Amino acid sequence: MNIDFSEELEAFRREVADFLDTAPTPAIREAGRKTTSVFAPFKEVMAWHRILHAKGWSAPAWPVEYGGTGWSVEQRYIFAEEHWKRDLPPLLPNGLQMVGPLIMELGTPEQKALYLPGILAGEDYWTQGYSEPNAGSDLASLSCSAVADGDDYIINGQKIWTTLAHEANRMFMLVRTNKEAKKQAGITFLLLDRMDYPGMVVRPIIGLDGLPEQCEVFFDNVRVPQSGRVGAENDGWSVAKQLLKHERGGAALSPMLRRKMALIRQAVVDAPSPHGGTLADDPIFQRDLGEVEAELVSYEAFERMILTGHPIGNDPAMPSLNKIMSTEMTQLLGVMQARVAGLGAVPQQVEALTVDPAAEPLDDLFSLTAMPFYLNARATSIYAGTNEIQRDLLARTLNAA
């Protein structure tokens, strides 16, 4: 997508480009090339977070009073575009894009003072304790309980698909505080300021890519302070819905998706076609790739409307619409990368996804990361509320209009 920016904004672009060309370490750059989901390799992305924080650029979308940059929407877009051009790792979203903005909006002054500086500086990583073995898409069915006892809650139960919980030092979670009320009415939102409470056990889950990104977390009479509650007791469902607006809205994604399309088109030149020749000469593949390109242009136009102040940016349905479009676009690109990579896209690729600057560089990261990207893309239409739920929300919004 080409947008005509003023000379002042182009000067800002040059400043961003100069910094991004020199600040990342080789390990950070390698981590970016090996990122196959919204969660980049942990050690390297947290190091990159701290470098950006030292520059004052770790939270472009945060208000200035909480440490944000004060950048305009156009500046944030330029930064995202230049960031993705260099295949740099995206900062982890749980703190900066999800629980951080929630604490700003609904947290107490004490919670803001305690938690926001660590999120901004990249000193803390927050894992999300929502899903349970019997409460995924139907999250309101969660049963992990918290019983008030003096100034504490005592938690019992289990959480699953808690991303990078084995690396986290904090958690935000939903618990059942009233078993008698309607499902949504008996839930409370809690902030846990540590992950090593007595009775708390984190167990990594090895994924299809051979890496332990997801975890399950067990609670056995875990005592946590009530001061970590956000909002009123039993009103956690409202708090969670507020957080989901940030999770579904997200930052500008089209620069990342455009970069992925450019890599696919570059690889097509030498990729063999099952019908002979290369995929660049295969009319069937080129037809399919053209359809994906058209979808991407459509999504870029959607982001451009938001960027230029179109009223849709303030529409209550926008987060759901953005979630559907961005995740399905990501899945389309995952399919195309896997098709181009062909037999090189094998499912077990720990070597390709493990950052080791001392190791010999891998020749074909496009193929080696194709299957992990494809597999991670499958989950995008499920997390943050399935796309089927988002379409239902859109229908209800239109029906009420």
Three-point CA angle 201, 202, 208, nearest 5°: 150
Q: How many C-beta atoms surround the C-beta of residue 341 within 10 A?
A: 22
**Domain at 253-400, CATH homologous superfamily:** Butyryl-CoA Dehydrogenase, subunit A, domain 3 (1.20.140.10)
| pLDDT, tens digit, 9 for 90 and up, residues 87-144 | 899 999 999 999 999 999 999 999 999 999 999 999 999 999 999 998 877 788 899 9
Q: What pLDDT, on a 0 to 100 scale, did the predictor assign at position 1?
A: 45
Domain boundaries, the chain: 7-91, 126-234, 253-400
Taking only the tens place, the pLDDT of each residue in 333-384 is 999 998 888 876 665 566 667 787 776 666 677 887 888 888 888 888 877 7
- Distance between CA atoms of residues 378 and 139, nearest Å: 19
User: Do residues 369 and 209 lie in contact, with contact meaning Cβ atoms separated by under 8 Å?
Assistant: no
Can you tell me the distance from the alpha carbon of 301 to that of 68, in angstroms, rounded to the nearest whole number?
27
The pTM score is 0.81
State pLDDT tens for residues 248-283: 555 567 778 888 888 898 888 888 888 888 888 889
8 labelled catalytic:
no
247, 300, 351, 360: the active-site residue:
247
Ordered alpha helix ranges (H), 23-108: 26-33, 42-55, 73-85, 93, 100-106
| 72 SS3 class | coil
Mean pLDDT score, 223-249:
86
Angle between helices 73-85 and 283-307 (to 10 degrees): 150
Q: Is the pLDDT of residue 219 over 50?
A: yes
CA angle, corner 65, sides to 63 and 71, nearest 5?
Answer: 40
- 218 backbone dihedrals φ, ψ, rounded to 5°: -110, 140
Task: Tell me if 163 sits within 8 A of 94, measured CB to CB.
Answer: yes
Same fold, 126-234 and 253-400: no
**What superfamily does domain 126-234 belong to in CATH?**
Butyryl-CoA Dehydrogenase, subunit A, domain 2 (2.40.110.10)
Mean pLDDT of the chain: 87
- Split at pLDDT 50, 70, 90, the class of 322 is confident
CA nearest neighbour of 110 among 198, 171, 194, 191: 191
